[in-house]
Structure 1
Amino acid sequence: MRFEQEVPRRCDGREATPLPQGLCADSTDLGHDECSGPGLFAACGLDGRPQNARQSRQFVTMTLNRWALQPLVPDTELVVSELVTNAVQHALTHTAADAEGYPLWLGLFRHPGHLVCAVADPSPDPPRPRDPDTLALGGRGLALIDALSDTWSWSPTLPYGKTIWATLPLPSPFRPKPRPLPRRPA
Structure 2
Amino acid sequence: MNQETAAPEAQPGHAFRNFSVRLSPTPRGARLARLLVAEQLCSWGLPVDPARQIVAELSANAVTHGRVPGRDFRLTMYVIGTTLCIEVTDTCGDLPPRPQHPSDDAESGRGLALVEALADRWGWGPGLRPHKTVWAEVTVVRQGGST
TM-score for the superposition, normalised by structure 2? 0.88
Per the alignment, residue 83 of structure 2 pairs with 114
Per the alignment, residue 26 of structure 1 pairs with 4
1:126 equivalent in alignment to 2:96: yes
Q: Percent identity?
A: 32
3-state DSSP class of the match of 1:106? strand
Q: Whose relative contact order is higher, 1 or 2, with alpha carbons under 8 Å and at least 6 apart?
A: 2
Runs of 4+ in structure 1 off by over 3 angstroms are none
1:7-59: CA deviation from partner (whole Å, max 9, x where unpaired): x33xxxxxxxxxxxxxxx1104xx757xx533210011111011122211111
**Bigger radius of gyration, 1 or 2?**
1
3-state DSSP class of the match of 2:50? helix
Higher helix share: 1
How many residues are paired up?
A: 140
1:153 equivalent in alignment to 2:126: no
Aligned pair in 2 of structure 1 residues 104, 169: CA closer, same or farther (>3 Å)? same
Per the alignment, residue 53 of structure 1 pairs with 30
1:67 equivalent in alignment to 2:36: no
Cα RMSD of the aligned pairs, angstroms, is: 1.7
* 1:161-172 aligned within 5 A: 161-171=131-141
CA distance in 2, matches of 1:53, 1:161: 18
1:108-164: CA deviation from partner (whole Å, max 9, x where unpaired): 110112101100011112101000000000000000000000000001111321000
Higher strand share: 2
TM-score for the superposition, normalised by structure 1? 0.70
Unmatched tracts of structure 2, length 5 or more = none
1:54-104: CA deviation from partner (whole Å, max 9, x where unpaired): 2111111111011110x2x121110000000001000113xx1xx2xx520
3-state DSSP class of the match of 1:27? strand
Per the alignment, residue 73 of structure 2 pairs with 104
Q: 2:105 aligns with which of 135, 139, 142?
A: 135
CA distance in 2, matches of 1:37, 1:113: 8
Amino acid at match of 2:80: H
Unmatched tracts of structure 1, length 5 or more = 1-7, 10-24, 175-186
CA distance in 2, matches of 1:56, 1:156: 21
CA distance in 1, matches of 2:62, 2:31: 14
